[in-house]
Amino acid sequence: MVKNIIIDTGCANLFSVESAIKRLGYPVDISDDPKIISQADKVFLPGVGNARHAMKNIRQKHLEATIKALQQPVLGFCLGMQLMAESSTEGVKPSTEGAAGEARQVNGLNVIPTRISPLQARGKRLPHMGWNTLTSVTEHPVLTGIKPGDYFYFVHSFAAPVSEFTVASCEYGSTFSAAIAKDNFIGCQFHPERSGALGRKIIENFLEL
């Protein structure tokens, strides 16, 4: 039987992701067991909250090396996408408040070469919350059937810049990566599980890889 696994990082609305997958007719389990995750056919990395807390949980659960070593397809949602980056400044206190020697960034999983920083909203309200359109879409199997102008649901204040690893972009005050990908890892800044039919399309594309 095909094994689809949602990683339990302790920082995610796991059941909304689980429900979205099951509604499409696919089996899925939730686990934080490195052995079970390693043996999965497809892996989901959802996340809500901030990067510092999420990476702390991942390391406490001894999942960092497991996730980085995965060769099967891995799909990250929102914070899960951001955790795939080299680093993030989310959850880090300003230097004027932090203790001496406190890290100015959170080291991520470093499976996609990009860095997460505050979204440059240029006066627009943060977090960027609600429906927004993609401004560009690059050919990628998970994005089959998705095009510029399609709406997805976002909730975030930090973002990845547009880079060679960007496969979809969005604009909110400035342009940022709506989806990034490298090798078997792909991450969506938006929430596919909250994005209606197009979000379901992305999840199904991923499960059919």
Q: Does residue 29 have a pLDDT over 60?
A: yes
pLDDT tens-digit profile of 55-111?
Answer: 999 999 999 999 999 999 999 999 999 999 999 999 877 654 445 445 689 999 999
- Among candidate residues 78, 156, 188, 204, the one labeled active-site is 78
- Among candidate residues 18, 64, 90, 193, the one labeled active-site is 193
* Mean pLDDT calculated for residue range 104-121: 97
* Mean pLDDT calculated for residue range 35-62: 95
pLDDT (0 to 100) of residue 96: 43
Find out if CATH 3.40.50.880 is the number for domain 4-96+107-207.
yes
Per DSSP, the three-state class of 101 is coil
Q: Does residue 7 have a pLDDT over 60?
A: yes
Instruction: Indicate if 97 belongs to the active site.
Output: no
CB 156 within 8 A of CB 116: no
User: Hey, where are the domains in the chain?
Assistant: 4-96+107-207
CB 112 within 8 A of CB 182: yes
CB 112 within 8 A of CB 85: yes
Rounded to whole angstroms, the Cα distance separating 138 from 175 reads 15
Instruction: Indicate if 102 belongs to the active site.
Output: no
Pairing status of strand 158-159 against strand 106-107: unpaired
CB 187 within 8 A of CB 7: no
Residue 168: CA count within 13 A, CB half-sphere: 28
Give this prediction's pTM: 0.94
Instruction: Indicate if 170 belongs to the active site.
Output: no
- Among candidate residues 18, 64, 90, 191, the one labeled active-site is 191
pLDDT (0 to 100) of residue 194: 97
Q: What percent of the chain has pLDDT over 70?
A: 95
CB 125 within 8 A of CB 154: no
Q: Does residue 1 have a pLDDT over 80?
A: no
* Mean pLDDT calculated for residue range 181-208: 98
* Mean pLDDT calculated for residue range 162-186: 99
Question: In which band, very low, low, confident or very high, does the pLDDT at 139 lie, cut at 50, 70 and 90?
Answer: very high
